[in-house]
Amino acid sequence: GAVVSQHPSWVICKSGTSVKIECRSLDFQATTMFWYRQFPKQSLMLMATSNEGSKATYEQGVEKDKFLINHASLTLSTLTVTSAHPEDSSFYICSARDREPGELFFGEGSRLTVL
Amino acid sequence: GQNIDQPTEMTATEGAIVQINCTYQTSGFNGLFWYQQHAGEAPTFLSYNVLDGLEEKGRFSSFLSRSKGYSYLLLKELQMKDSASYLCAVMDSNYQLIWGAGTKLIIKP
């Protein structure tokens, strides 16, 4: 099946710094990518829908100025957590579809720990 | 509102069969997905149902009844590695995925 790669897998940073997470579709073109956050023992929570060449659509309650999403090409979307704080520590997962509708392929996830 | 319900936790014995149920109420329906998620890892795709009936794939089967807003995931010949969370998700009329909270499956020897 299609492959989605996410990098980095683990990141530890100091409070106040910014962290960028990349999500790449390796063998297909993803016009739409999704970013999720998952706290321990909880289900996935959709943060935003990222469309190539346009602004991301954020879910209610997600600060777009804090979680910057860029979808510059059909194979790459990035999530930047700006001025990270300990409460931003979470598991961030991206996903993409190769067609509508279709199976959603997930990246490996990125575990962010903010000290 | 949109709602996906599935049991929080289930326990089963190695070698046995377990059925994980999922009921949903969504704005439109474009298919139902089951994903497996091991602790600390991203979800992996198990099945996709858009028509009523049973889809079998090896030890795993998934059933859908659109009229009842109901699905189940059936796991046969349980193995210890099947211990994981199983997420039910429905794609609504806007092609957005609505996620259940997941069912944590514990397999005992």
Per-residue pLDDT of chain A (115 residues; tens, 9 = 90+): 678 999 999 999 999 999 999 999 998 888 889 999 988 777 788 899 988 888 899 999 999 999 999 988 889 999 999 999 999 999 999 998 877 666 778 898 999 999 9
Cα dihedral value A82, A84, A87, A93, nearest 10:
60
pLDDT in tens, A30-61: 888 999 998 877 778 889 998 888 889 999 99
Question: Chain B residues with CB inside 8 Å of A34's CB?
Answer: 97
Would you place residue B12 in the very low, low, confident or very high pLDDT band (cuts 50, 70, 90)? very high
pLDDT in tens, B19-31: 999 999 998 998 9
Query: Closest approach of chain A CAs to the CA of B43, in angstroms?
Result: 7
Strand, helix or coil at A82?
coil
CB contact under 8 A, B43 and A100: no
Cis ω before A86 (30° cut-off from 0): no
CA-nearest of A23, A32, A31 to A106 is: A23
Quick check: A40 contacting B, CB < 8 Å?
Answer: no
DSSP letter at B28 equals: S
